[in-house]
Structure 1
Amino acid sequence: MADMLAAGGWLMLPIAICSVLGLAIVIERAWALRALRIAPPRLVEQRDQLARSPALSAPDREAMESHSPLGRVWAAVLATRNDGADIRRERIEEAGRQAAHDMSRYLNTLGTIAAITPLLGLLGTVAGMIRIFATMTESGLGDAQALAGGIGQALVTTAAGLCVAIPALVAYRYFNGLVEKRGLLLEQWAVRLIELQRGDGRP
């Protein structure tokens, strides 16, 4: 690994940093977007009780909002049960957008990593080619070691950039789809709670 970093030159440092950061984001998002984290079973079990309860107090609402994304959306449903339809819809949609924003945390950074690491690899390729031509200008084709170093830099940085970018892009697409799926789940749970409040839904 050390030899590879040395062969790739200084551009291997930002590529390595991107790889570590990307891996950390993947692990964090995989943990944060678990179904049990988005809609905790203990909260789901309280659905009928919450539908029959009076409007939440401010401390209870804050506690529920910080509990989970489902808690944030349900807190908006419960806090606006006595408001007009337009105000209620606006508050619930706002809570849903905030929950979606929280679930999308760090995904822009992951997408940026997927986009820039191939460019860093390409920059390393260009730097390696410049090094080769500079060697040829100074020493002709006689300095095989210097030529090999330039070729190695070009190949190693390109390969390293792609090795980081491809998994990052796959993870970025996967988590975006997962956020959309979790958002639909929250919407369904919000509608279900509203139906129970109105007495339209069956337990």
Structure 2
Amino acid sequence: MPLFATSSGMLFDLLKTGGWTMVPITLCSLIAMGIIVERFWSLQRSRILPKHLVAQVWTWIKNGQFDKTKMRDLKNSSVLGEVLTAGLLNHQHGRAAMKASINEAGRAVVVRLERFLNTLGSIALVTPLLGLLGTVIGMIRVFTVIRVEGVGNADALAGGISEALITTAAGMAVAIPTLVMHRHFSRRVEELVSEMEQEALKMVDVLHGEREIFTGN
């Protein structure tokens, strides 16, 4: 408990010393942390691309078990299931119609997979600028003190310098990991979308007799 109180006190002192620009930097860090946690949860491979889903769908169709209930369960099972369902709904209209439906559903899915990534990227860009703004404000304070009181007021000079250094460090401390995670999630979305397209096209080929499917584990 004393350690927690000491840490909280030090954090509060840093926020206070850094000036008002520390408020938006802190808010940005909290928002970024929330987005990162949410994206880690939402972009799990098992939630997007369940293993052997195409093989399962083909087994249902081959055994005459694919009815409206199975269709609904497939759509609600995962993101890939939603894309496959869009294609299956237009199976009777031919290969081209299936692919068009899959592409349309895929575009909507990509938007959902990229949810909040623009915000994460904006935070990575804005927080260093906020830190730079705090630096400029801190240096203005320093030069104002020098102009009014000379260099003899060490406490006032130290306050301005501390504000400049703290805000710069805080802005970079938020921006660097946020930028790394933005790149990571963007790459992950690209990989998931690519694999999802391959699985959907595999289903189209299988249903039209242009490909054999492996149903093993």
> Above 0.5 in TM-score?
yes
- Number of residue equivalences: 202
- Deviations along 1:20-78, one digit per CA (max 9) or x if unpaired, are 11111111111111110101247455232355469865x76565434321012101110
Write the deviation string for residues 77-97 of structure 1: whole angstroms up to 9, x where unpaired.
101101244443322111111
Give, as a single letter, the amino acid of the residue that structure 2 aligns with 1:77.
G
Does residue 153 (structure 1) correspond to residue 163 (structure 2)? The answer is yes
Q: Does 1:77 align with 2:84?
A: no
The whole-number CA distance in structure 2 between the counterparts of 1:33 and 1:44 is 20
Over the matched positions of the two proteins, sequence identity in percent amounts to: 43
Aligned residue type for 2:179: L
Displaced runs of 4+ in structure 1, greater than 2 A? 40-45, 49-57, 59-67, 84-90
Where does the alignment leave 5 or more consecutive residues of structure 1 unmatched? none
Contact 2:25 2:127 (C-alpha < 8 Å) held by counterparts: yes
Q: TM-score when scaled to structure 1?
A: 0.91
**Tell me, which stretches of 5 or more residues in structure 2 are unaligned?**
1-10
2:103 to 84, 87, 93: 93
Answer yes or no: is 1:107 the counterpart of 2:102: no
Q: Note if contact 2:74-2:85 (Cα within 8 Å) is conserved in structure 1.
A: yes
Q: 1:127 to 1:22 in 2, by over 3 A?
A: same
What value does the CA root-mean-square deviation take over the aligned residues? 2.0
Do 1:56 and 1:78's aligned partners in 2 also have CA atoms closer than 8 Å?
no
- Map of 2:204 onto structure 1: 194
Cα distance in 2 for partners of 1:93, 1:81 equals: 14
Cα distance in 2, alignment partners of residues 70 and 42 from structure 1: 11
Residue 26 (1) aligns with residue 36 (2): yes
TM-score using structure 2 length: 0.85
1:127 aligns with 2:137: yes
